[in-house]
């Protein structure tokens, strides 16, 4: 299959808003109007409870991981695979099932990058979790992950994926601009606690 077909598959899969579906069908809440108004695992955990947040996290990671992993057995070029990674992430941010709106794409980023650099992504995720544990803010961990990914791509011998990691870093910072403002004001939502 051509790279273009994999890009389309990754984008459409990335577009599936699992958090929105879980929150609306299983807890009758629209996460777009509640909490941080995000469709990601953090807000779903906040609004619906931890088990729903974990389900969202697993599904959002999977929708990044699966298409890139499948594409990697067809596509040999690192640039081609980088485009598939980006397509899955852009799908989550600009979902074709949500009028091209979407989420912050942290979990989908983890899934997509796991498929191209297992250790680089695992180390970035470990840094993310450490910062979340120390700060109590998932957003701070997510921003750490965004910064760590290009560094760990380089350090784990996956320099070919540094360019896409840099693009994704900019995207993730842009999607977290409200979080960054709240963090600067000391008003960021703690996880599992709804904003009032
Ligand atoms: O992955 C999203 C996380 O970084 C922030 O989520 O709901 O606190 O804006 P939230």
**Closest Cα to atom 5, ligand 1: which residue?**
139
Distances (CA, A) of 98 to 11, 12, 41, 152, 192: 13, 12, 17, 32, 25
In a domain, 165, yes or no: yes
Maximum C-alpha span of the chain: 49
**How many domains are there within the chain?**
1
In a domain, 190, yes or no: no
Centre of ligand 1 to C-alpha 43, Å, is: 6
Question: Which ipTM was obtained for this model?
Answer: 0.96
Report angle CA 161, 167, 169 to the nearest 5 degrees: 100
pLDDT in tens, the chain (196 residues): 799 999 999 999 999 999 999 999 999 999 999 999 999 999 999 999 999 999 999 999 999 999 999 999 999 999 999 999 999 999 999 999 999 999 999 999 999 999 999 999 999 999 999 999 999 999 999 999 999 999 999 999 999 999 999 999 999 999 999 999 999 999 998 776 544 4
pTM: 0.94
Atom of ligand 1 nearest to the CA of 43: 7
Which residues span the domain enclosing 147? 3-185
| Sign, Cα dihedral of 170, 124, 122, 142 | negative
In a domain, 192, yes or no: no
| 3-class secondary structure, 123 | helix
């Amino acid at each position: 299959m051509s790279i273009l077909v994999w890009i389309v598959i990754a984008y459409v899969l990335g577009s599936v808003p699992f958090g929105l579906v879980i929150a609306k069908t299983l807890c009758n809440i629209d996460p777009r109007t509640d909490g941080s108004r995000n469709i990601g695992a953090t807000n779903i955990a906040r609004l619906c409870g931890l088990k729903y947040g974990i389900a969202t996290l697993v599904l959002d990671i999977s929708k990044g991981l699966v298409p890139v992993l499948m594409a990697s057995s067809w596509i040999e070029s690192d640039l081609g695979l980088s485009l598939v990674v980006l397509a899955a992430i852009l799908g989550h941010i600009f979902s074709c099932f949500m009028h091209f709106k979407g989420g912050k794409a942290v979990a989908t980023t983890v899934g997509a990058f796991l498929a191209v650099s297992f250790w680089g992504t695992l180390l970035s995720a470990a840094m993310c979790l450490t910062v979340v544990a120390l700060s109590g803010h998932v957003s701070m961990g997510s921003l750490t992950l965004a910064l760590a990914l290009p560094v760990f791509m380089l350090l784990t011998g996956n320099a070919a994926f540094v360019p896409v990691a840099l693009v994704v870093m900019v995207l993730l910072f842009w999607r977290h601009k409200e979080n960054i403002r709240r963090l600067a004001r000391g008003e960021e939502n703690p996880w599992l606690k709804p904003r009032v």
